[in-house]
A and B are shown apart, each in its own frame.
Chain A
């Protein structure tokens, strides 16, 4: 053993003279020569590890080929832009298929392993050289694994943000109940982003429906911090700029307090106890006069 170690240290100083670039070149050549069998082995191990179950064997092999080639190219050129672009592209394709983060990281690590083992096999008679090759391979391989994994995660986060956005849009309906009258029932806790969205949707709704009165019902809002209260005030002001009046209903004592705290003059704000009352007030403002259903419809006056 000691003999071997001494031998290694003698030889390694010789091999160390070989530059990293030269070693990488040898490595890349090896990976290209053995492309077919290494790809196959990798694809096999992916299936064994039960990764990418959302994809067929053929699909896995096709993607494995692309990843392999990009991997080798990144090793060869030392630049990662192409790999980054590919990683984003790959992520865009496989995320809708339900591929998860652990699978992507898993397959990249498997590839590292497959390639490393093939290096062990090739250079098993020359540990010193193997050491040098691994020294050159390791940082590059790590960077590649990182690039692919990070690319995937970022794309996934982008998709999640988009989905959250879509949910927000769906969950804030602006309802037209009468001509020129819109109702915006708000339910749940509002964060600043949702508040912004509500305001935008409401303003667009006012324009589309030519609304003159808007009833914003916050009965279903348990709490409101100063920031969101500010957003509410801004919404009222923006609505006025579009020539409409706002009636706020369902104002709890707590939220009323918050508004007062941020300097809102509640006397100037048009508030009514509940939604029903708010709608009646709105109709009054619009000049509707609702008569009991017993009397003829033509008695509904519009002053």
Chain B
């Protein structure tokens, strides 16, 4: 995004490591999602990373849950993909960016997908409208047959 700098950005694919004192060595992490067991890992990493920015406990829960849902969508629809977590900065504000990328079937009707919430009949997956409510910014790119990328950001107040 124009005008946005990534704090301490590293090459994609680097993993987060926290030193004993809690200093963040890297500010970006990419988690491969290949099955439902990777969902918990992705959201816990996201929580850890966001915590370094000083988000409140309820904000951390929001972020972790959003990551969980995005990762779940990958598992349900694309079978595999990745979640990229990145600390970002824009205009003096710090935040976390969560990007869920897959090369799955894509979403045919994005607008409809964004309208619905969780219903009793389909209480799993998508729920993109919900994720959008949890985060401050939300962008989605999807092409049938090519895949989907969802990017969401939450800023520290």
Contacts and interface: CB of A to CB of B under 8 A. Distances in A.
Nearest to A165: B157
A274 interface: no
A200 B157 CA distance: 16
Contacts, number: 7
Interface in B44-92: 58, 91-92
A200 B66 CA distance: 18
Residue among B58, B91, B92, B157 having the largest count of chain A Cβ atoms under 10 Å: B92
B157 A161 contact: yes
B8 to A, nearest CB: 13
A157 B157 CA distance: 11
Contact of B58 (A158, A161, A200): A200
Nearest to B157: A161
Secondary structure of the A contact surface, majority rule? helix
Contact of A154 (B58, B92, B157): B92
Contacts of A157: 92
Interface residues of A, number: 6
A238 to B, nearest CB: 11
Interface residues of B, number: 4
Contacts of B157: 161, 165
Secondary structure of the B contact surface, majority rule? loop
Interface string A146-166: 000000001001100100010
Nearest to A155: B92
Interface string B6-29: 000000000000000000000000
A154 B91 CA distance: 8
A177 B100 CA distance: 47
A157 B93 CA distance: 11
A16 B58 CA distance: 60
Contacts of B91: 154
A133 B122 CA distance: 70
Interface string A20-50: 0000000000000000000000000000000
Interface in B87-117: 91-92
Contacts of A158: 92
A195 B157 CA distance: 16
Contacts of B92: 154, 157-158
Nearest to A153: B92
A161 B58 CA distance: 18
Interface in A100-154: 154
Nearest to A204: B58
Contacts of B58: 200
Contacts of A161: 157
Interface string B107-147: 00000000000000000000000000000000000000000
Contacts of A165: 157
Nearest to A164: B157
B5 to A, nearest CB: 11
A161 to B, nearest CB: 6
Nearest to A157: B92
Nearest to A84: B92
Contacts of A200: 58
A157 B92 CA distance: 10
Nearest to A200: B58
A200 B91 CA distance: 28
Nearest to A230: B133
A149 to B, nearest CB: 13
7 contacts: A154-B91, A154-B92, A157-B92, A158-B92, A161-B157, A165-B157, A200-B58
Closest 3 CB pairs of A and B: A154-B92, A200-B58, A161-B157
